Amino acid sequence: MSEVVARLDGITKSFLGVPVLRGVDLELRAGEVHALMGENGAGKSTLLKVLAGVHRPDSGRILLGGNEVSFATPRDAQAAGIAIIHQELNLLPHRTVAENVFLGREPVRRGQVDRRAMVAETRRLLDWLGEDGIDPEAGVVRLPVAQRQVVEIVKALSADARVLAMDEPTAALADHEVELLYDLVARLRDRGMAILYVSHRMREVFDLSQRITVLKDGAFVTCSPTEELTSDQLVRHMVGRPLDALYPERPTEPGEVRISLRDAGNDRVRDLTFDVRAGEIVGLAGLQGSGRSAIARAIWGVEPFTAGVLERDGEPVRIPNPRTAVRKGIGYVTEDRKGEGLALRQSVRDNALLVRRAALRGQAARRASDLAALLKSVNVVAQGPHQEVRYLSGGNQQKVVLGKWLAVRPNVLIVDEPTRGIDVGAKQAVYQLLRDLAADGMAILMISSELPELIGMSDRILVMHEGAIAGALPAGASEEAVMGLATGHGIGEVA
């Protein structure tokens, strides 16, 4: 068995009396990918931050190569050979790749930063990773997200990290970029790095890791080799109960056409022709950048269609801006919950009423008497309507976003990555909610990069490829069929 590089021993951490970690053990070995799983709020991020020197544990020990260490700042952890890639990328867009890689550790020669050495070392590491397409002197702002991730990894490598912790590294990546990242992680592992890998995505964890540790409510649940676990067992460990019916039953016949595109297109998408009917959930699949979200943003009037016809309940309409979309009874749950969905410092109440107040006029905009019923219908768990939404969990925040749209009673709802970053339990609640809405006659267009979810929820699936619809698949299609169309290889039934 390979060498134990880092060990966490009985780590506990409370924030003013609320225990977040209750005696967690973790062993990281050289040349091994160790997956850390658990629902949101299970304590994964806190554990990572303890390892990174952001938080100090209340009790418990951190051992590196057998010696006990204690970190007062992220700087100490870094010096000890621990590198963390946080969920939000930690790069300065307006500095160069090399400057970012060496941030906080710039080599100094005769009183000034040795830029040549920085660039040379960055180039060496990029070459080593086989990523020689990245210019060390380019501004990070010019790089696509996947390459920025590579820069993060180079940053970790340049710090001579022996332990690399990655918090949901694929969250922002397109599917083909995910493959590249797998490859990169595997290579780092093979070269002896100890990797701690946090992810919500089952498939990644089973593909990549050799060992899985599960946390629940801040406590250690289990640690076992990946090959000895099935995904059902894993879910049971995480949730504490089996999740047999993750996806609700599909209902009956769809109703009339709510929204219909005829040869619609703009700069990013073209030749779109499809209908969404009352009572059905239409899934929209495709690789990132294939135009999935561009369709949503076009219908929504952010970047409107410039060609073709958009029909609403059989009438051609023009939707030049979001305001018009709201007034035409369309709701849009964006994929960026914090950046575009919520005003985080405002209360649950103010967020739930946001669309109504922002887009409607007069009496309709002022109405608030139904707020309690509204929040109940989406089942938000909060201290009260006046709690600020930033203190809610991701799942509850997403429910507030849904509530905000239901407040204006749309009959078309577009949801873009509705379960991103929320835990399994909350996912199930969101699925049930969407299905109930459809049963009540809502027409739903659902975008997701998680294929099992898309297949489990959709009544039919449209697959996008390079800005156009590559094909349509019926409910229950296989992942292979979807991926085939999405990558431009397969042939589906035409809608």
Q: Shortest approach of another protein to residue 324 CB, angstroms?
A: 8
Q: Shortest approach of another protein to residue 219 CB, angstroms?
A: 18
Q: Shortest approach of another protein to residue 94 CB, angstroms?
A: 5
Q: Shortest approach of another protein to residue 2 CB, angstroms?
A: 28
Residues 55 and 46 sit within 8 Å (Cβ to Cβ)? yes
Phi, psi of 35, deg, nearest 5 = -90, 140
- The rounded distance, in Å, linking the Cα atoms of 162 and 445 is 45
Q: Shortest approach of another protein to residue 375 CB, angstroms?
A: 6
Which is closer to another protein, CB of 85 or CB of 235?
Answer: 85
Q: Quickly count: other Cβ atoms within 10 Å of residue 210's Cβ.
A: 16
Q: Quickly count: other Cβ atoms within 10 Å of residue 275's Cβ.
A: 17
Which is closer to another protein, CB of 77 or CB of 472?
Answer: 77
Residue of 300, 397, 434, 461 that binds another protein (CB under 8 A):
300
Piece in contact with another protein (CB under 8 A), picked from 99-107, 238-246, 250-258, 304-312: 99-107
Q: Does 269 bind another protein (CB under 8 A)?
A: no
Residue of 74, 248, 441, 452 that binds another protein (CB under 8 A):
74
Q: Does 375 bind another protein (CB under 8 A)?
A: yes
- Output the CA torsion sign for 147, 153, 156, 157: negative
Residues 351 and 389 sit within 8 Å (Cβ to Cβ)? yes
Q: Residue 90 in 3-state DSSP?
A: coil
Phi, psi of 415, deg, nearest 5 = -120, 125
Q: Shortest approach of another protein to residue 407 CB, angstroms?
A: 10
- Hey, which residues between 431 and 490 contact another protein (CB under 8 A)? none
- Hey, which residues between 9 and 28 contact another protein (CB under 8 A)? 15-18
Residue of 73, 230, 273, 478 that binds another protein (CB under 8 A):
73
- The rounded distance, in Å, linking the Cα atoms of 329 and 442 is 10
- Hey, which residues between 392 and 411 contact another protein (CB under 8 A)? 404
Return all residues near 27 (Cβ < 8 A) that are at least 6 apart: 4, 6, 7, 8, 34, 223
Q: Does 84 bind another protein (CB under 8 A)?
A: yes
Which is closer to another protein, CB of 1 or CB of 16?
Answer: 16
Burial environment of residue 184 by CB neighbours within 10 A (0 to 12, 13 to 18, 19 or more): middle
- Hey, which residues between 106 and 135 contact another protein (CB under 8 A)? 106, 108, 111-113
- How far lies 271's CA from each of 140, 151, 214, 231, 259, in Å? 34, 37, 46, 40, 16
Q: Shortest approach of another protein to residue 391 CB, angstroms?
A: 8
Q: Shortest approach of another protein to residue 61 CB, angstroms?
A: 23
Q: Shortest approach of another protein to residue 82 CB, angstroms?
A: 11
Residue of 142, 187, 191, 409 that binds another protein (CB under 8 A):
142
Return all residues near 268 (Cβ < 8 A) that are at least 6 apart: 291, 294, 298, 303, 467
- Hey, which residues between 303 and 362 contact another protein (CB under 8 A)? 303, 321-327, 332, 334, 336, 339-346, 348, 350-351, 353-359
Q: How many residues sit in the footprint of another protein (CB under 8 A)?
A: 77
Residues 384 and 372 sit within 8 Å (Cβ to Cβ)? no
Q: Residue 59 in 3-state DSSP?
A: strand
Residue of 66, 104, 252, 315 that binds another protein (CB under 8 A):
104
